[in-house]
Amino acid sequence: MIGIGTNLVTCPLQPSLGCVYKLVEVNGSPCLKLTEDEEKMTIPGMKTIYRLYDAAGHPFMDLMALEEEPSPSAGQELGIRVLGRLGETTTVTPTTVEPLHRIYFRDGQMCEPLPSLSEVRTHAQVSLNLLSPAHRQLHEPQPYPVAMTERLHRLFLELRQGSP
């Protein structure tokens, strides 16, 4: 399979919408898009995501986990791999864990009512206000990390090494 970029198939003077669809599983089997650019590789498998909070009540990291993994718990030490530094294992201990993944549609059917625009706006404002000042500052803000569990990292490595 090959992919053709937006700039190759559209006239640069005409507006175009650059969209990316990243396939992570086929018929229950996790899959991986391989590329020289590690930032463009997909992270395989059905996942869920959690927001981890520190003792001051600020989110300090979002954590991706395989859907079948048990949820992390507050006060539990976690071995994680931060995206961009996958070669290093880091441990974190959140004081609060918030599940972020919500399913609104399944098999073409709505299974939970969609939030109103006002609810989405309020949620976004509250989330931004919870960020620590180090992440919110306009001049040289501290990057907000996203990480994966050790189990998800092992799956990523297995698929990457098992490819021809």
Residue 103 lies in a domain: yes
Residue 26 lies in a domain: yes
Residue 110 lies in a domain: yes
List the domain range (segments joined by +) for residue 93. 18-130+143-162
How far apart, in whole angstroms, are the C-alpha atoms of residue 164 and residue 162? 7
Residue 115 lies in a domain: yes
Residue 77 lies in a domain: yes
Residue 12 lies in a domain: no
Closest CA to 154 of 45, 77, 61: 45
Using alpha carbons only, what angle is made at residue 57 by residues 128 and 82, rounded to the nearest 5 degrees? 75
Residue 124 lies in a domain: yes
Using alpha carbons only, what angle is made at residue 122 by residues 93 and 103, rounded to the nearest 5 degrees? 65
Residues 81 and 89 sit within 8 Å (Cβ to Cβ)? yes
Q: What CATH number did the domain enclosing 117 receive? A: 3.20.140.10
Q: What is the pTM of this model?
A: 0.82
Helix (H) or strand (E) holding 8: helix 6-9
pLDDT tens digits in sequence order for the chain, 164 residues long: 455 566 666 667 777 666 667 788 888 899 888 777 777 778 899 999 999 999 999 999 999 999 999 999 999 999 999 998 888 999 999 999 999 999 899 899 999 999 999 999 999 999 999 999 999 999 999 999 999 999 999 999 998 888 54
pLDDT value of position 1: 47
- And the tokens for 110? 């709505």
Report how many domains make up the chain: 1
Residue 112 lies in a domain: yes
Bridge partners of 25, per DSSP, are: 30
